[in-house]
Amino acid sequence: MAEQLLHLVFGGELKDPGGTEFVNPAALDIVGIYPNYKKAHEAWRGAAQRTVDNAHMRYFVVHLHRLLDPTTAKPEPPAP
């Protein structure tokens, strides 16, 4: 069984497309929490593709496992 490495995928409208400050943090789109990077990347890609026409919408993958236990953080495999 593969090691569980939790990842959060979320996004929202940015004030500036080059930054990371959201227009309305209360309205963030929480896509979900995934058991590994591959599943999170798939969810991120789907959410990003649905909003491709809006340059201010941005989605992120957060490595929750690194926040929960930073001493065991491992490098992620490359995205497929």
| Other C-beta atoms lying within 10 Å of the C-beta of residue 27 | 9
User: Can you read off the two tokens belonging to residue 6?
Assistant: 């939790």
CA dist list (Å): 67 to 1, 8, 14, 33, 51: 22, 11, 24, 14, 28
- pLDDT band of residue 70 (cuts 50, 70, 90) is confident
pLDDT at 75 over 90: no
Reported pTM? 0.82
pLDDT at 31 over 90: yes
Q: What is the pLDDT of residue 66?
A: 86
pLDDT at 10 over 90: yes
61 within 8 A of 9, measured Cβ to Cβ:
yes
Percent of the chain residues topping a pLDDT of 90:
74
pLDDT at 79 over 90: no
In 1-80, where does DSSP find H-type helix? 37-50, 64-68
Q: What is the pLDDT of residue 72?
A: 64
Residue-range domain boundaries for the chain: 1-12+34-69
| CATH class of the domain at 1-12+34-69 | alpha beta
